[in-house]
Amino acid sequence: MSKLEGKPATLAAQAMGWVDPSTQAVIPPIHTATTFIRDPDNQYRAGRSYARADNPTFDHAEALLAALEGGVACLSFASGMAAATTVFQALAPGDHVIAPQVMYWGLRNWLTTFGREHGLAVDLVDAADLDAIAAAVRPGRTKLVWIETPANPTWAITDIAAAAKLAHDAGALLAVDNTVATPLLTRPLALGADLVMHSATKYLNGHSDVVAGALVTTRQDALWQRIETLRHAGGAILGPFEAWLLLRGMRTLHLRVERACRTAAMLAQRLSTHRAVAAVLYPGLPDHPGHAVAARQMQGGFGGMLSIRVAGGEQAAIATAARVRVWKRATSLGGVESLIEHRASVEGPGSPAPPDLLRLSVGIEDPDDLLADLDQALGA
Ligand SMILES: Cc1ncc(COP(=O)(O)O)c(C=O)c1O
């Protein structure tokens, strides 16, 4: 893999500057082979044997994401959930882990069901509150502190550097779900985190046409080896076509994220004075509880995700989502098209999402069209 030097936009646009040595093609091929030739003396000197372990098509997307995150290695997975749950499965029964109360609900549910069945002692805390993390860590017993920042769906912010210190002082690692911030806005490893996880389904791919996940590490240590072995053994790999599409999507990451951040900031500001909106949750607004920390640890914007609490309550929120014409009423985030959803309906009973909350994933459409559509949907 080539070692293109440069800023993130250069690395992304050129996908690390890779050129096919045999054809001079500027776009890598898709390798569909499931198996690779053994040497006559029974060795695999070319380094590959079978495609459940790895595939040459993964290399490019993994190398680009490792470079953008400033890590030493990256592993792609079949989904964000496959990436995240592999980290927890690599821990041992009896290990204590801390995770946020406010986080991607699918992973929270997995932790409190399968994670506990696997034998993990799981504590959910208010991860925006460092004192709550400090009170929950058990020195010598806590193995992993997991955070998500900004966190679904209130965009609560955790101070990554401070959380890393709390984890490390207790002998634990810090893992950060960096899906929403992307490496363009936040680089958790440079702030002290040990692992970064992505639902690459979101901004990294960016076109709502690939389900993918990834982990990036600061060290290829025993835990990383276990994660790699679990991916190989369990087979939670990305298909070669999906890996190729992911790399293609990542080439425009910087343009999409920049545009989404700018539009989200405008919408947050304009909606915060709308008479049908009770509150806007966006870390870029000075009244967001995480604003000061976000301003310190996010560069270039506060992300493309925001939520609004609709003044008329739950039914008014659901009715607002029903009236949109430009926004798409759908789950997920980070695509080029703007999405709106009533989050409590998605998360179900026990969700910390307020019932009047609509989650907005801002795409790259004309900002005025997005604002006008929300205005008519809220105002009817
Ligand atoms: C922040 C975050 N993390 C993880 C996931 C899970 O990723 P995937 O759907 O790719 O499995 C999601 C999916 O919505 C997410 O939003």
User: How do the pLDDT tens digits run along the chain, 380 residues long?
Assistant: 667 889 999 999 999 999 999 999 999 999 999 999 999 999 999 999 999 998 999 999 999 999 999 999 999 999 999 999 999 999 999 999 999 999 999 999 999 999 999 999 999 999 999 999 999 999 999 999 999 999 999 999 999 999 999 999 999 999 999 999 999 999 999 999 999 999 999 999 999 999 999 999 999 999 999 999 999 999 999 999 999 999 999 999 999 999 999 999 999 999 999 999 999 999 999 999 999 999 999 999 999 999 999 999 999 999 999 999 999 999 999 999 999 999 999 998 889 999 999 999 999 999 999 999 999 999 96
- Which residue among 54, 177, 194, 373 is the active-site one? 177
Tokens for 132, please give them: 């709550």
Q: Is the shortest distance between the CB of 59 and ligand 1 below 6 Å?
A: no
How many angstroms is it from 103 CA to the middle of ligand 1?
Answer: 10
Beta bridge mates, 144: 97, 173
Q: Which residue's CA is the closest to the ligand 1 atom numbered 14?
A: 332
CA-to-CA separations, 156 to 149, 180, 268, 305, 356, in angstroms, rounded:
7, 11, 15, 11, 17
Kindly report the pTM of this predicted structure: 0.98
One-letter amino acid for residue 231 of the chain: R
One-letter amino acid for residue 221 of the chain: D
List the Cα angle 339/60/15 in 5-degree steps. 70
Judge whether 104 counts as a catalytic residue: yes
How many angstroms is it from 5 CA to the middle of ligand 1?
Answer: 30
Judge whether 177 counts as a catalytic residue: yes
- Which residue among 54, 59, 95, 104 is the active-site one? 104
Atom of ligand 1 nearest to the CA of 152: 1
Q: Which helix or strand (DSSP H or E) is residue 222 part of?
A: helix 222-234
